[in-house]
Each structure stands twice: as structure tokens, then as C-alpha cells.
């Protein structure tokens, strides 16, 4: 784990995590991040304490007298006598263990003793969400983290905790959950331990399943989730059959009527033409016929006049 932390720090990934711990109470549990730093509050004000020491496994590692550091065997540490704080930087696994705080009066007599436990944990560096659709339209989502000792998982959907109506199996504290067919939204997986808290968000949508409740063509009642794109169990007509039939019938009658009008107009035109033609012929036969020789006409008229005389 230390090699992984070192590699990530080498490529520029910052894993320096600062934690704080109040060691003024007996049997306090403190946590520090691997590669990070921890501030341990040892005293309220060291100016009122003539002398105090810090021991690890019965070995004295820190000795402060009259606000002056007399002994400090941890090289990567700092002491702030004015506020009684002891800081350990660049934490390693070796820094974990039980520490004892001793207070001593000016005569060198012990006036008190208390212990604290320091736990070193690797922080969570990243979180990955992977989702997959199952055969019945459910969605399985897994949450994995890089690094992190004793990780704890929690889930939210659109900013709220997942409910039993949305979870098919699993719970909000596991790293794998199964969502029901209708669930969609912004899903967040949070991974935390005592020294870090990292989350990852992912937009999820349904797997394309729909819930049907209908009667099939053969009269069977069907109820359940089916894949919408392949659904052939309950087919609803896209248009009203009665309306379609009426529309088609009306269109047919219109076409027949139009054809009838064309035929009637054609016969009417022919009839009018022949009527006009016949009328012209009759008018031509009613006019007086002219004699071919005008001289004969005059002679006949003169002879008629003479006879009357």
C-alpha cells in the first residue's frame, strides 16, 4: 500500500489528508491517513503544565518542559507547546499503536496518565461505477474504490436515499445494488472511511422495459415486464379501424361520383353537339331555292301577268 501511495504522489495525485484528534480524554481513538498528517491535542494549555511526556509502547518519544521541547524522537513531527498540539506528518503504518500521555509536576512526580490509540488507514483515492442490465430489465450497479481501508458504502438517487420500492436486492450499505425496472436518475455512490470520503455520480436510465397488463389475441391475460422494442404480446393498433374503413369507403364513393360526372358531361357534350348540328341543317332547308337561270324567271313572271289580263 505504501508503494501505491508513493506512486500516486509521484505522478502528481495528491493524497495528503489532514486529520484531527482530541487526545485529552482517556482511551481516545485517533485516525490518521497513510501519507497524510494528524494533529493530536495533548493539553489544553501546556503553559500550566510544568512537564508532560508522550510514550509509545513504554518508550518515551516526546518530553516537553516549561513550554520547551526537550526530546522528540519522531523526525517527521512538530510540537506546538503554546496550545499543546502534537503533529505527525507523512504517516506510515509504523505510527499506529497505543500512546500514553503523562503529566509531571515540578518535583518530578507523576500527576496523571491517559492513553490514546492511533489507527493508520489508507484513504480512498477514486471510485468507479459500473452498471449492467439484467434479463428482466433490472439494473445491477457495482461501486468499487481504489485504496481505502475498511471502506463503507452509501447510495443516493437524485439527492435522497434509495427506498425499498427502488431496490430489488441489496441495501444502501453494500457496494453492489440491484435497481428495479422503472428506476432512473442521478445515482451517487459514496465511499468513506475514517480518513477520507469520495463519491462518484452517474446518470442512469431504464433498460428499455415496460410493464404490460393486457389480454393477448388468444385471450390469455398477460402481466409483467417486457422489452419494449421486441414487444409483440400486446399490440395496439396505431389508428382506429372503424375510422380507417369509413375513410376508405368515403373516398371510393367520391371517386365513383367523380367518374359519373365525367361520363354525364361527356354524353351531354355529345348530345348538345348533335342537336346544334341538326338545327343548322333544318334552317338551311327552309330557305327559298334560287333558279339557276334568272332569264327564265323573268319570262315566267311576264307570262303570268299577261294571262291575268
Per-residue pLDDT of the chain (309 residues; tens, 9 = 90+): 444 444 443 333 345 799 999 999 999 999 999 999 999 999 987 567 899 999 998 899 999 998 899 999 998 999 998 888 999 999 999 999 999 999 999 888 999 999 999 999 999 989 999 999 998 899 999 999 988 899 999 999 999 999 999 998 767 788 999 999 999 999 999 999 999 999 999 999 988 888 877 877 777 777 778 877 766 666 554 434 444 445 555 566 677 777 777 778 777 777 777 776 777 676 665 555 444 444 444 434 444 444 444
Do 21 and 88 fall within a single domain? yes
In angstroms, the CA 64 to CA 225 distance is 72
The CATH number for 85's domain is 2.60.40.10
The confidence score (pLDDT) of residue 262 equals 73
Shared domain check, 40 and 69: yes
Strand ranges inside the chain, DSSP E: 18-22, 28-33, 37-41, 51-56, 59-65, 68-72, 77-80, 85-88, 97-104, 110-121, 124-133, 139-147, 152-157, 160-161, 167-169, 176-179, 185-192, 197-204, 209-215, 221-227
Backbone torsions φ then ψ of 45, nearest 5 degrees: -155, 110
Count other C-beta atoms under 10 Å from residue 239's C-beta.
8
The pLDDT value recorded for residue 194 is 95
| Listed residues 87, 121, 155: the one ending a domain | 121
- Which range of residues forms the domain containing residue 142? 124-206
Amino acid at each position: 500500500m505504501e508503494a501505491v501511495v508513493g506512486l500516486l504522489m509521484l505522478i502528481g495525485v495528491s493524497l495528503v489528508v489532514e486529520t484531527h484528534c482530541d487526545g485529552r480524554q482517556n482511551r481516545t481513538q485517533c485516525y490518521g491517513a497513510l501519507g497524510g498528517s494528524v494533529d493530536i491535542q495533548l493539553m489544553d494549555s501546556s503553559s500550566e503544565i510544568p512537564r508532560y511526556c508522550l510514550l509509545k509502547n513504554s518508550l518515551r518519544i516526546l518530553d516537553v518542559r516549561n513550554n520547551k521541547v526537550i526530546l522528540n524522537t519522531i523526525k517527521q513531527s512538530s510540537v506546538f507547546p503554546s496550545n499543546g498540539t502534537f503533529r505527525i506528518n507523512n504517516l506510515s503504518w509504523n505510527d499506529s499503536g497505543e500512546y500514553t500521555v503523562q503529566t509531571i509536576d515540578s518535583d518530578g512526580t507523576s500527576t496523571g496518565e491517559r492513553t490514546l490509540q492511533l489507527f493508520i488507514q489508507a484513504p480512498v483515492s477514486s471510485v468507479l461505477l459500473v452498471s449492467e442490465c439484467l434479463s428482466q430489465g433490472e439494473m445491477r450497479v457495482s461501486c468499487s474504490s481504489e485504496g481505502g481501508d475498511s471502506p463503507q458504502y452509501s447510495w443516493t438517487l437524485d439527492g435522497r436515499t434509495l427506498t425499498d420500492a427502488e431496490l430489488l436486492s441489496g441495501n444502501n450499505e453494500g457496494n453492489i445494488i440491484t435497481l428495479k425496472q422503472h428506476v432512473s436518475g442521478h445515482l451517487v455512490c459514496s465511499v468513506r472511511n475514517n480518513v477520507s470520503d469520495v463519491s462518484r455520480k452517474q446518470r442512469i436510465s431504464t433498460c428499455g422495459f415496460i410493464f404490460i397488463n393486457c389480454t393477448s389475441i388468444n385471450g390469455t391475460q398477460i402481466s409483467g415486464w417486457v422489452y419494449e422494442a421486441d414487444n409483440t404480446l400486446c399490440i395496439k393498433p396505431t389508428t382506429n379501424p372503424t375510422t380507417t374503413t369509413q375513410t376508405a369507403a368515403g373516398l371510393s364513393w367520391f371517386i365513383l361520383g367523380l367518374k359519373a360526372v365525367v361520363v354525364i358531361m361527356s354524353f351531354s357534350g355529345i348530345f348538345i353537339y348533335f342537336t346544334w348540328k341538326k338545327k343548322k341543317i333544318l334552317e338551311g332547308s327552309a330557305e327559298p331555292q334560287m333558279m339557276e337561270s334568272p332569264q327564265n324567271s323573268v319570262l315566267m313572271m311576264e307570262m303570268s301577268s299577261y294571262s291575268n289580263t
